[in-house]
Amino acid sequence: MKFRTEIIFFFMLFAHYIAAQSIENKDEFAATKKSVQLSTGIEMKYFESGKTNGIPLVLLHGYTDSSRSFQNVIQELLDLDKDLWIIAPDLRGHGETSLPEMHPMKNVSDYFKMSDFVNDVLDLIKQKNIAKIHLAGHSMGSIIAQEIALKEPEKISTLILLGTTADPKNNAFINEFLVSELVFGTWEKQLENQYGSTWREKSYRSTPMDMGSDVMDFLKENWVTETYAPATFLDAIYNETIKVPLGTWFGALEGMCAVNNTGRLENLKTRTMILWATGDVLFTEEFDQKTLKSALEKAFRKNSTASYFKTYGTFTEANNEIGHNFHWGIPKHVANDIFQFITNGNPSMDTKDKNQLKNDPLLPQVNSKIQFFGFHK
């Protein structure tokens, strides 16, 4: 009995050690970020790894996230090729990157246009002296990536869009929930009651932490989620999310709501891969993905632009499908497809999961479906 107790105690200590190491590694991720002063007035923090003569890959995170969103994907990518030149910025007002300074002659809502994010990223690339990059973005980051590829196609080798939409302006989740119900609904009323008519200016640098435990609990339970993501990783994301300034929550949302690229994506000239998961309730198959596929077809007819659309899913009736933040839950699959795409021009063509999941019963059997637009390489 004593021996059994000692064994249990040993494993408890070991588990505690692993958890502590995980937290320490996440702190190391933040500590390794570099800083650059952009010509746009933003002081940008960014993660950088690999060699400057390696394949350059820029990763753009989503709304209210940070470069940490790609932390596990980056590790998986470096396991595939340690020389990859990976750059993952904290976008303006997110993570450790500065908020735009308020100007008395400028509207508060004008600091987070998608063109502002685009100019920040292009200036970062310019300062790193990179002529051409592979560009990947998730959610809002994918919308920024679209804008960059349409504006400066000669600077983009391949375009990778994760959990994306062509039309955030008419997206149901953004308009009916984020705008009407949450951010410009409940939150706006609370801030207006507190600050009056100038609530936008007075709450600009406040955070969800200043809005009380109800807001923080809601974000933990409903915002920073992904079915198969490790709890320690979600905690690290959550701890950054609740520190994102309200100026960013409101401004970046307005910036997204001004975009409809449905028609413009027909002009896409960059080889593109879209990754989407069946459990994505934000950018749904019925509206967002059908619109994207139609745009990819038109881009091929107009410009001979080849594109892949790959869907992840367990494809079961169980309510445990992979969701919008799928790169948090299945980073190995995502990294493998990105690596295959930037090196070979196509994602992994395996549709049956042959990865590490056989040894981890907590993770799903991830299968996929692939649709191709254009000439298959």
pLDDT in tens, 41-58: 999 999 999 999 999 999
Residue type for position 173: F
State residue 74's pLDDT score. Answer: 97
Q: Is the pLDDT of residue 310 over 90?
A: yes
Q: What is the CATH number of the domain that holds 191?
A: 3.40.50.1820
Whether residue 351 is predicted with pLDDT greater than 80 in this model: the reply is: no
Q: What is the pLDDT of residues 176-185, one digit of tens each?
A: 999 999 999 9
pTM for this prediction: 0.90
Regarding whether 200 and 163 lie in a shared domain, the answer is yes
When pLDDT is averaged across residues 122-129 and rounded to a whole number, the result is: 97
Predicted confidence at residue 366, as pLDDT, reads 79
**Residue 340 is encoded by which pair of tokens?**
């295959």
Task: Clarify whether residues 24 and 83 are in a common domain.
Answer: no
What local confidence, expressed as pLDDT, does residue 368 receive? 83
pLDDT band for position 249 (cuts 50, 70, 90): very high
Distance CA 350, CA 80 (A): 17
The predicted pLDDT at position 363 comes to 59
**87 and 183 share one domain:** yes
- Which tops the pLDDT comparison, 359 or 232? 232
Residues 13 and 79 in one domain: no
Clarify whether residues 261 and 290 are in a common domain: yes
Residues 70 and 183 in one domain: yes
Contact 54, 134 (CB under 8 A): no
**pLDDT the model gives residue 12:** 38
Question: In the structure encoding, which two tokens stand for residue 9, read together?
Answer: 């105690």
pLDDT band at 375 (very low <50, low <70, confident <90, very high): low
Same-domain pairing of 96 and 24: no
Q: Is 371 helix (H, G, I), strand (E, B) or coil?
A: strand
**Average pLDDT value for residue range 8-27:** 43
Please check whether residues 193 and 287 belong to one and the same domain.
Answer: yes
Model confidence over 158-175: pLDDT tens digits?
A: 999 999 999 999 999 999
Is the per-residue pLDDT at 19 higher than 70? no
Are both 136 and 215 inside the same structural domain? yes
Assess whether pLDDT exceeds 50 at residue 4.
no
Q: Where are the beta strands (DSSP E) in the chain?
A: 34-37, 43-49, 56-60, 85-89, 133-138, 156-162, 272-277, 307-313, 367-373
pLDDT at 364: 62
What tens digit of pLDDT does each residue of 316-348 get?
Answer: 655 668 999 999 999 999 999 999 999 999 998
* pLDDT at position 6 over 60: no
Percent of the chain with pLDDT over 70: 86
Q: 77 and 3 in one domain?
A: no
Compute the average pLDDT of residues 347-372. 67
Average pLDDT, the chain: 89
pLDDT of residue 2: 41
Of the candidates 314, 311, 313, 304, which has an alpha carbon nearest to the alpha carbon of residue 273?
Answer: 311
77 lies in the same domain as 223: yes
360 pLDDT tier (thresholds 50, 70, 90): low
Residue 118 confidence (pLDDT): 98
Rounded Cα distance, 107 and 200, in Å: 10
In the chain, the number of structural domains is 2
In this predicted structure, what is the pLDDT of residue 76? 96
Per the structure, the complete domain to which residue 15 belongs is given by 1-31
Q: What is the mean pLDDT of residues 205-222?
A: 97
Same domain, 1 and 65: no
Task: Give the pLDDT score at 356.
Answer: 42
Cα separations in angstroms, 315 against 7, 84, 227, 277, 364:
40, 33, 15, 10, 10
Average pLDDT over every residue of 119-144 = 98
